[in-house]
Structure 1
């Protein structure tokens, strides 16, 4: 090694040491990934403060849903998201073109980006979008499929494709915020949102991107979907008292309560956040994923794979 190379190596080591002291690198030398913004549209509220207040109050959001009652589904309750002020977030053409799930997701992502403050995102080519969804455009696909049974396929709405494509939320978030990096959609069942966040963190640590809008969204409180879940015996059935139905840790539990919501984070390298003076809410310190490889809907009783993950 020449003297010049030794000097370069020494400067690089000093730089890494300074970054460690500044708290922007992990022990393995990869960037720390911090959270600088939140956005949420949920049954518990439309802002993080509202959601926190509802959670601390321990107030159930399960109610009978008029559409389900009218359809006579075996389970007629769930947790619908609070009403969304669509005119605040969307133009008239967008309100026609986007389905409910995408509207919830885009609005939550908009709030997260706004909360992140000026300068978030940086280089558009290194700014990604990572979205998790279990059902994607399923509810819209079922509704639009009625044209086939009614013999009116020639009158399928023009916005049908934008409504049913699984990556609609990710695509619209990318367009609205000029994110030219990876625009990815993950579907891993109930873990989809966590998967999206974890994969975004790994991409930032690996140096592929510097920032990402990441989170999850689903909206499936429709008669067909609820009937389908009821048929496989996964739903809680305390119909007379929906507010007591969700009890996952009770020995007398009988299923889950379906809700609809969207929640997104803005993630970025710690050094980027520090350089622009951003408020840091926390750090995503770890992520792992695995598959039980045992049953389609039931977790392994011993929890071994989950523990390994």
Structure 2
């Protein structure tokens, strides 16, 4: 089946995050304005300059049988938990082929990770050094592969239309979802399981990010450390987890009577070509991604009432994004309620786009925007460029068709913007 104009919809959602072990508890935490950031209690944290992070609320071994968990990197464990929830939430009873409502040859999986199996790699290297060659796990290579999470999700649902792993740093999860939309639009698949995952709370990544001066060192106040748009923000807080959605052609969803959360309107992509780490300060690359989204998709800026911003709580990045929104949308930006959910979840790196897509879709479905917490002194540049939802959740328009954006940007200058709309 070939098509380039098929409508794509979201029929299932799943997540495991610092706020909850599933999408429902995560959403409840976001609306309540609850922080998932905690002090690191591991022995190795004592020597770190950064001693806080946002671990998952529910350990994966409480959900996945231990024999299976031992063969999966932590990032793959998260992805599998979120994907299984999304798959079930979409109404599928079993894997493709066993469930007659989905053809495995028309089913894809696109699960991204910015870093991949970093904990497996580093832990098994320690085993090699301390215990010798023969003690290294034979499962090490499939566990550390960046495509491990996607491959395991593909195996779990029986996907044969294609299994893919975009790797574009903190834009990875959003890029995976954009790729999945295109798979359905182009006719390659009818259903795609897509999202992002990350598990990098480990001494090496934390030391490296800390030495880059990219992370908050507000160790005395963990829950207040991630503070996008606050004038005193001093860097992001590392989080972990996964967010996954089930995307489907509208025709396929209607045929099986599926519940639809939202329409996946499309994506806009660009690159800064500016610096490997620093964002382009005026947000030019982000502006190009936003304009690309508008040019390539049927989207009226007047419909957009909500933005789940990338907003990691870094001094430069937060403002560059808002400048781009103002540049592209002008006065229309005044009616866009901007939420920075990383203030609660921390920054999930390659998993951020997946989790924040779940939040964006649910914001439309329930017509409420989550708050940005910890903004005690709003940065004047943020105030001048955007309407930031602070303190408490805000109701979105209850009537008519509305749309929302999910922004994701990553080291290397990767920019991805996703758009969703009520149905």
TM over 0.5: yes
Can you give the 5+ residue segments of structure 1 that lack an aligned partner in the other structure?
1-27
- The equivalent position to 1:108 in structure 2, one of 82, 86, 107, is 82
* C-alpha contact (below 8 Å) 1:294/1:300 kept by paired residues: yes
Kindly tell me: are residues 121 and 288 of structure 1, through their superposed partners in 2, closer, same or farther at Cα, counting changes over 3 Å? Answer: farther
What is the CA deviation profile of residues 69-99 of structure 1, one whole-angstrom value per residue up to 9, with x for unaligned ones? 6452110111000123535433x43122112
The farther-off stretch of 128-137 and 245-254 is: 245-254
Show the 5 A alignment for 1:153-302: 153-302=133-282
* C-alpha contact (below 8 Å) 2:200/2:240 kept by paired residues: yes
SS in 2 for 1:163: helix
SS in 1 for 2:266: coil
What is the TM-score normalised by the length of structure 1? 0.86
Deviation at 1:36, TM superposition (A): 0.3
What is the CA deviation profile of residues 103-137 of structure 1, one whole-angstrom value per residue up to 9, with x for unaligned ones? 11101000000001046872111110001111111
Count matched residues. Answer: 281
Separation in 2 of the partners of 1:121 and 1:187? 31
- The equivalent position to 1:44 in structure 2, one of 19, 23, 26, is 19
Deviation at 1:150, TM superposition (A): 2.9
**What is the root-mean-square deviation in Å for CA atoms of aligned residues?**
1.8
Deviation at 1:190, TM superposition (A): 0.9
SS in 2 for 1:128: strand
What is the CA deviation profile of residues 226-278 of structure 1, one whole-angstrom value per residue up to 9, with x for unaligned ones? 11111111101111111111112122211100000100000000011011000
Kindly tell me: are residues 122 and 261 of structure 1, through their superposed partners in 2, closer, same or farther at Cα, counting changes over 3 Å? Answer: same
- The equivalent position to 1:86 in structure 2, one of 17, 37, 61, is 61
Deviation at 1:68, TM superposition (A): 6.0
What is the TM-score normalised by the length of structure 2? 0.64
Can you give the 5+ residue segments of structure 2 that lack an aligned partner in the other structure?
93-98, 290-423
Select the structure that is richer in strand.
2
Deviation at 1:154, TM superposition (A): 2.6
User: Are 2:76 and 1:96 equivalent residues in the alignment?
Assistant: no
- The equivalent position to 2:41 in structure 1, one of 66, 73, 97, is 66
Separation in 2 of the partners of 1:39 and 1:55? 15
Select the structure that is richer in helix.
1
* C-alpha contact (below 8 Å) 2:53/2:201 kept by paired residues: yes
Larger Rg: 1
Show the 5 A alignment for 1:24-43: 30-43=5-18
What is the CA deviation profile of residues 5-45 of structure 1, one whole-angstrom value per residue up to 9, with x for unaligned ones? xxxxxxxxxxxxxxxxxxxxxxx961111000000000011
Separation in 1 of the partners of 2:22 and 2:251? 27
Larger relative contact order (C-alpha < 8 A, sep ≥ 6)? 1
* C-alpha contact (below 8 Å) 2:61/2:69 kept by paired residues: yes
Separation in 2 of the partners of 1:120 and 1:86? 31
